[in-house]
Amino acid sequence: MSLRALAVVFIVLLPPVRAASADEAFIPNQSSGDLTIVDLGAMTPGVTLPIGGKPAGIAVTPDGARAYVTSPEGHFVSVIDAIARRVVKQIAVGGQPFGVAVSPDGRRLYVADMNGRELLEISPETEKTRRVEIGATPSGVAVTPDGRLIIAAARDDNALVLIEAETFARVATIAVGRHPYGVTIDAQGRHAYTANVESDDVSIIDLAERKLIATAPVGSHPYGVALARGRAFVANQYAETVSVFDTATLAPLATIKVGEYPESVGVSRDGATIYVTNWFSNELWSIDAESYKIMGKAATGDGPRAFGAFVRAAD
Amino acid sequence: MSPLAVLRAIVIAAVLTPAAAVAHGATPQKVIETIEIAAPPAKVWAVVGDFQDMGWLPGIVKTEGEGGVTPEIAKRRLFLAGGAVIDERLVQYDDAAMSLRYIIEHVDFAVLPVGNLSATLKVSPASSGGSVVEWKSRFYRAFPGGNPPEQYTDEVAIKAVSELFRSGLAGLKARVERE
């Protein structure tokens, strides 16, 4: 056999090598009151940081420098130095801070007060705060990639509320399904997706037109949505599955069986891997975005919520 | 307070607090209880898997329902000694895996101080040759806001569900092993 033929054989026989991931997951564990940092390349848990106050919501700055965790029962937001792995400070905000998002420049935090009807804008440096009325049970929060628009779910009003970042004023309220929870915006900033817990579907909003353009049925009790490769991946808490549908045609593509009570779902920066937290079984699972195969499982603390965009760029 | 005492307390108090609202709080709770039963899994599942009869749970005097064991269709109303009722809906049913999941659609907080409860009952073979029954649940405390009053805290909710499940599993064991 020639060397060249041998090389071909080797190439064929070698298992596909996945690009080394420098992504991490920052997973707040609500029951154990801490945060697990998971190396997503190896799918192994690393450092655990004590947080307190039943941590639930997570946001990470695009440069990977800072993470922010809400503690609804402690009424504070923790500011975390993601590189040094330490809590820098905890900002007392009152109420029940829950969903959280951070502006692309990292200078503004947007925090939903679940029991207080408001969205808060907080400067993590100065702690200066502005407030805007959202409605009943503010839950998920997301910001467009250009930082101009914030979208918050008013869960018990069955609506998404659009807020202009500059003025921090409401500019639109859009009726969606029953009990919208997690909110995810696509990379182009064109569409927002929200999982409707009580109506078992996903509402898709055109952000320029400011209107509902489609509704996709998913499984029982959807919580979170991740977007990758023209597909939406939706964690269904009661069905214990991830529903996959084509975002252009809304055609259902797959139903992936996952762990117990899946809630939050994220995606690697290269779009190749989906991550889902399983709240009851205390695990983060990774799923191949093309084959839909379960690739790995990492242990977390007790009751991983990770409500928000929990994937951090570590390089 | 035991579940039976809770049930008795309603009769004595005869005061109904507002019904469990749809709104719930920020922190879900977990309870997992298990029991070993000296009977084969099929025999235990014959009792547990009959969604339309929860007579094995102490304190339940009657079960009325419809829809058999069809997920999302099957419903039942549990009548408690003293007159209170609990309305439940079946959301998953797997006969082969001997597992079912239901949710409470309505319960008075005086009966069970929880919101948005879902629970799974699963029968598995035990290494001893008998069965293991696992009853586990996700729920919220009755009071959705921060700083709940003392009768509606997380701890009170967890205690009530734990005691209910322990009492239920003991009742199930006694009934199946007697048969």
A184-194 pLDDT, tens per residue? Answer: 999 999 999 99
pLDDT above 80 for A83: yes
Per-residue pLDDT, B19: 38
Among the listed residues A79, A115, A113, the one whose alpha carbon sits nearest the alpha carbon of residue A93: A113
Is there a contact between A203 and A196 (Cβ–Cβ < 8 Å)? yes
Is there a contact between A309 and A292 (Cβ–Cβ < 8 Å)? no
Among the listed residues A27, A26, A19, the one whose alpha carbon sits nearest the alpha carbon of residue A314: A26
Q: Which residues contact B126 (CB under 8 A, 6 or more apart)?
A: B36, B37, B132
Q: Do B146 and A95 touch (CB under 8 A)?
A: yes
B115 in reach of chain A (CB within 8 A): no
Residue A200 Cα to chain centre, angstroms: 18
Give, as one character, the DSSP assignment of residue B145: S
Stated pTM of the model: 0.90
Q: Rounded to a whole number, what is the distance in Å from the CA of B126 to chain A's nearest CA?
A: 21
Give strand pairing partners of A89: A79
Is there a contact between A154 and A119 (Cβ–Cβ < 8 Å)? no
pLDDT above 80 for B157: yes
pLDDT tens-place string over residues A250-287: 999 999 999 999 999 999 999 999 999 999 999 999 99
Query: Which of B24, B29, B30 best probes binding to A when mutated, by most A CB atoms within 10 angstroms?
Result: B30
Report, as an integer, the average pLDDT of A176-180.
98
Query: Which of A115, A158, A196, A278 best probes binding to B when mutated, by most B CB atoms within 10 angstroms?
Result: A115
Q: Rounded to a whole number, what is the distance in Å from the CA of A74 to chain B's nearest CA?
A: 9
How many CA atoms within 13 Å lie on the side-chain side of A275? 34
Report, as an integer, the average pLDDT of B137-150.
91
Among the partner residues A30, A31, A115, nearest to B145 by beta-carbon distance: A115
Name the residue type at position A225. Answer: V
Q: Do A238 and B136 touch (CB under 8 A)?
A: no
Per-residue pLDDT, B25: 80
Q: Do B23 and A279 touch (CB under 8 A)?
A: no
The percentage of residues in chain B with a pLDDT greater than 70, rounded to a whole number, is: 87
Average pLDDT, chain B: 89
Is there a contact between A97 and A138 (Cβ–Cβ < 8 Å)? no
Per-residue pLDDT, B2: 53
Residues of A in contact with B22 (CB under 8 A): 156
- Confidence band of B21 (pLDDT split at 50, 70, 90): very low
Give the count of beta carbons closer than 10 Å to the beta carbon of residue B50.
15
Q: Whose structure tokens read 């490769």?
A: A229
Among the listed residues A97, A49, A50, the one whose alpha carbon sits nearest the alpha carbon of residue A74: A97
Q: Rounded to a whole number, what is the distance in Å from the CA of B13 to chain A's nearest CA?
A: 30
Q: In sequence order, what DSSP letters do the residues of B86-113 get, joined into one string?
A: EEEEEEEEETTTTEEEEEEEE-BTTT--
pLDDT tens-place string over residues A217-226: 999 999 999 9
- Confidence band of B12 (pLDDT split at 50, 70, 90): very low
CA atoms of A119 and A97, how far apart (whole Å): 9
CA atoms of A235 and A242, how far apart (whole Å): 5
pLDDT tens-place string over residues B39-54: 999 999 999 999 999 9
CA atoms of A140 and B138, how far apart (whole Å): 21
CA atoms of B48 and B36, how far apart (whole Å): 14
Average pLDDT, chain A: 94
Q: Do A72 and B26 touch (CB under 8 A)?
A: yes
Per-residue pLDDT, B22: 52
Helices assigned H by DSSP within chain A: 3-13
Is there a contact between A275 and A289 (Cβ–Cβ < 8 Å)? no
CA atoms of A160 and A139, how far apart (whole Å): 10
- Confidence band of B145 (pLDDT split at 50, 70, 90): confident
CA atoms of A132 and B112, how far apart (whole Å): 36
pLDDT above 50 for A18: no
pLDDT above 70 for A125: yes
Per-residue pLDDT, B128: 86
Report, as an integer, the average pLDDT of A70-74.
97
Per-residue pLDDT, A4: 54
Give the count of beta carbons closer than 10 Å to the beta carbon of residue A296.
18
**Cα end-to-end distance, chain A, whole Å:** 43
Per-residue pLDDT, A19: 47
Three-state DSSP class for B20? coil
Among the listed residues A291, A292, A273, A207, the one whose alpha carbon sits nearest the alpha carbon of residue A43: A273
Among the listed residues A53, A148, A62, A36, the one whose alpha carbon sits nearest the alpha carbon of residue A98: A53
Q: What share of chain A is helix, strand, coil (3-state, %, to 5)?
A: 5, 55, 40
Residues 134-173 of B with CB under 8 A from A: 136, 138, 144-146
| Backbone dihedral region for residue A161 (phi beyond 0: left; psi -120 to 50: alpha; all else: beta) | beta
pLDDT above 80 for A55: yes
Q: Which of A6-20, A248-262, B96-110 is predicted with the least confidence, judged by mean pLDDT?
A: A6-20
| Backbone dihedral region for residue B91 (phi beyond 0: left; psi -120 to 50: alpha; all else: beta) | alpha
Tokens of A228: 């990758």
